[in-house]
Amino acid sequence: MRIVLTEGSQATPVPLSFFEEIAAAAACLEEVAEPVLLALTLTDDVGIRAINKQWRHLDASTDVLSFPAVVFSPQETAGLEQASFPADAWDSDEGAYFLGDIVISLPAAFSQAEEYGHGMARELAYLFVHGVMHLMGYDHQNPEDKKQMRDMEEKTLAKAAVAGNDDQALIKIAWEAREYAYTPYSRYKVGAALRSKNGQVYTGCNIENAAFGLTNCAERTALFKAISVGDTEFDAIAITADATAPWPCGACRQALSEFVPGIRVLISWNEGKENAESTLDQLLPHSFLGYKEDGQ
């Protein structure tokens, strides 16, 4: 799903890919069969209050607003695969159907993040996924609908791998990532989950090749995914394997140290029965810095 930041929007404090991953997870779970897009406005309390007043005649600020552009029937909301998108929702510039607008107040997100103690990214993820669900036809008028909407929000955040600051959740994601390991030669499957400071998780698995030297370790798969979308600050990596403790190999320690010398390294093996934790500083003292003078 494409996301367009509106002209009136403030800059996003997390990479746009953070929102795109969540929207993509929602579109996948809802089986959206057509190209779709949404508009996102990040604003302040005054901004969201003005929008609330203009469009909903409510002179009050809030944390999130959503304005669906397409009305889906209840049957369609259960799975948008069969949904009929009206012709006037087609945006020919973007080549996608316009689902609607989401507006988020950044100061409201910030104070709620403080209140719940789970960080700005997790709060933004909650507010955004709530807006996305509204655009897809969910609502919370009665308790039954509300529960259905909440369930879908949680499923979407789990699929988008937004793990907040919960280490157990990160390890679980690394176990899931391991399922995709391509290991016809060693049969040693490794999973990795690298969490950036904004709460986004990048998964990786080892990918082998008939030309053995081309094999890519799980940790570097995850690291390169993150770097290649502009996310460069990390807080922890979880690594999972089967028989032996999957401490990262020397090459992966060096690759990680380029970006995060002090990152926490969590490992889990033997079906999760054994676990250990260290830091990259401990695993790779005196790493090679090349021309980097201050190691930053």
Catalytic annotation, residues: 219
Residues 167-186 that bind ligand THU (CB under 6 A): 183, 186
DSSP percent split of the chain into helix, strand, coil, nearest 5 = 40, 20, 40
Q: H-type helices in 67-163, by residue range? A: 74-77, 106-116, 119-135, 143-159
Selected range binding ligand THU among 42-50, 135-143, 213-221, 266-274, rule: CB under 6 A: 213-221
> Structure tokens of 215?
């094999």
Looking at the Cβ atoms of 233 and 242, the one nearer to ligand THU is 242
Q: Please check whether residue 153 is in contact with residue 131, taking contact to mean a CB–CB distance below 8 angstroms.
A: no
Q: Shortest approach of ligand THU to residue 262 CB, angstroms?
A: 18
Which of residues 64 and 218 has its CB atom nearest to ligand THU in the complex? 218
* Member of 28, 58, 245, 249 binding ligand THU (CB under 6 A): 249
Shortest separation between residue 188's beta carbon and ligand THU, angstroms? 4
Minimum CB separation of residue 160 from ligand THU in Å reads 23
The interface with ligand THU within residues 66-105 (CB under 6 A) comprises none
Q: Closer to ligand THU at the Cβ: 58 or 249?
A: 249
Q: Which residues of 193-227 are buried (b: 16+ CB within 10 A; e: fewer)?
A: bbbbbbbbbbbbbbbbeeeeeeebbbbbbbbeebb
Residues 215-244 that bind ligand THU (CB under 6 A): 215, 217-219
What gap in Å lies between CA 177 and CA 206, rounded to an integer? 10
Q: Which is nearer to ligand THU, 183 or 232 (CB)?
A: 183
Q: Which of 185, 196, 195 is CA-nearest to residue 239?
A: 195
Task: Give whichever of 136 and 265 is closer to ligand THU, judged by the CB atom.
Answer: 265
DSSP state at residue 81: G
Q: How far apart are CA 42 and CA 2, in angstroms?
A: 16
Q: Which stretch in 149-157, 168-176, 248-256, 267-275 sits in contact with ligand THU by CB under 6 A?
A: 248-256
Q: 136 with 30: CB under 8 angstroms?
A: yes
Residues 6+ apart with CB under 8 A from 30: 79, 80, 81, 136
* Residue of 110, 188, 224, 259 interacting with ligand THU (CB under 6 A): 188
Question: Minimum distance between the CB of residue 191 and ligand THU, rounded to whole angstroms?
Answer: 9
Q: Where are the alpha helices (DSSP H) in 43-118?
A: 45-56, 74-77, 106-116
Can you say whether the dihedral through the CA atoms of 276, 282, 287, 292 is positive or negative? Answer: positive
- For ligand THU (CB under 6 A), the number of binding residues is 13
Pairing of strands 234-240, 264-269: parallel
Q: Which of 190, 236, 265, 266: binder of ligand THU (CB under 6 A)?
A: 190
Determine, following the binding rule CB under 6 A, whether residue 208 of this chain makes contact with ligand THU.
yes
Comparing CB distances to ligand THU, the nearer of 183 and 279 is 183
Where do contacts with ligand THU occur on this chain (CB under 6 A)?
183, 186, 188, 190, 206, 208, 215, 217-219, 248-249, 252
